Amino acid sequence: MNVQSRPKRVSEPPEPSAPHPAAVPAIAEQEGLGESSEPPDSKSARPKKAPRVLFGLVAAAVAIGSIVWLLGRGKESTDDAQVEGHVVTVSVRTSGQVSKVLVSDNQSVREGDVLVELDLEELKARLGVARADRMAAEASLALAQAQLALTERTSNAGIRQARGGVSQAASGVVSSKAQVEQAQADISTAESRRLLASKELDRVRELFAKGSISQAELDARQAAADQASAGLELARARLESTRAMISGNYGNVEQAQGRLVAAMTAPQQVQSAQAQVQLTQARVEQARAAEHLAELNLSYGVVRAPVSGVISRKNVEVGILVSPDRPVLALVPLDDLWVIANFKEDQIGAMRAGQMASIKIDTFPGHTFAGHVESLSAGTGARFALLPPDNATGNYVKVVQRVPVRIKIDDRAGLALRPGISAAVSVRIN
């Protein structure tokens, strides 16, 4: 059995009896008070000091609160701020193999300093090919221009020559027709002569049969008749020849007219030559552009600093292949910095550009930088987030939004600031 132990009753000590007056000095000496012990009236004064101390503490708290209120009146402050700056990403503008890397991490460079060099031999070869293509195109252009000039000069002469050929062929037809008529007249004459010679031959034969004339006279008349018949045949042959000549002259006319039609295409030939010149001119321009592009690529083989700053995120080494789609390093200009302060939405109602601001940066806790409001963002930070909130979905919980405010640092006091370091900003809005 568990027996609960009862607490023993502790008897109160008996009240001490008042000491004898002769024993008071001895008691005081034993307690170490000696002659410096308080008089009996000091015990009654202690309770009166407590209200005074409490009143003093309350008054001090009120004074401190008033001072803090007065100092913070007309100001909006936030510690959600950081220093920002430009981060310039440097990439090569043409593909190639890295031959030299002339910088290292955290090195300061000036604008125009050489950072990286690529292998230039291939780029030089491409420039040579482009230059040769340009020279060939220029030669083709010169040839096309010469052909155009020749076509323009010979086109008019060809037309005139073709027209002259048509006229000549037409005159040949006319002449042949006249010759036909003459041949027909010669046939008529030859027939008349043959008829006359035939009649005289018949009379001479009758006379020879009667013995009135000699055999020689008969032979002469026979020869005359034969000659007249041959003349008729000759006239008829000339007629057929003249008629054939007319057909040939008509063919010459057709041929001359065809030459004239061909010569009349001279304007189209000139236009074709002009188009050929324009085409070669376009090829020359294309070749010149390719040559200029090759020159640019050769110049891009030397990568220079676009701005002055400090090298950061260097990820390029000798021998690797680089391309325009992959950055090789970053440059951070430390001479152009500002502060982005994220104020609550209920703090920017009276905030305007140009208002004075004081900046405290955690890197330099003992220094306050002077600045001013440069601009306010057009929206809250959540609105420009990768996944902005959609208050129309789910249960709505109101969250105080923050608006980025750009603060310009007026005086850096020669201190080295870097993007990303924390800051606290107070803006005077009255």
Pairing relation of β-strands 364-376 and 402-409?
antiparallel
Residue-level pLDDT at 175? 65
pLDDT of 19 > 70? The answer is no
Residue-level pLDDT at 133? 94
Residue 390: strand, helix, or coil: coil
Longest dimension (CA), the chain: 239
Count CA atoms within 13 Å of residue 277 on its CB side: 15
More confident: 156 or 287? 287
Token pair 């188009």: residue: 275
> Band of the pLDDT at 253, cuts 50, 70, 90?
low
Residue-level pLDDT at 254? 65
Q: Per mean pLDDT, which range of 24-28, 78-82, 93-97, 334-338 is the poorest?
A: 24-28
pLDDT of 256 > 70? The answer is no
pLDDT of 98 > 50? The answer is yes
More confident: 358 or 34? 358
Token pair 């046939």: residue: 187
> Band of the pLDDT at 20, cuts 50, 70, 90?
very low
Q: For 79, which DSSP code?
A: E
Residue-level pLDDT at 249? 61
Tell me the domains of the chain and their CATH numbers: 74-86+334-428 (2.40.30.170), 89-121+299-328 (2.40.50.100), 123-286 (1.10.287.950)
Residue-level pLDDT at 36? 43
**pTM for the whole thing?**
0.56
More confident: 212 or 113? 113
Residue-level pLDDT at 8? 39
Q: For 347, which DSSP code?
A: T
> Band of the pLDDT at 260, cuts 50, 70, 90?
low
More confident: 46 or 321? 321
The string of pLDDT tens digits covering residues 61-91 is: 887 876 666 555 678 999 999 999 999 999 9
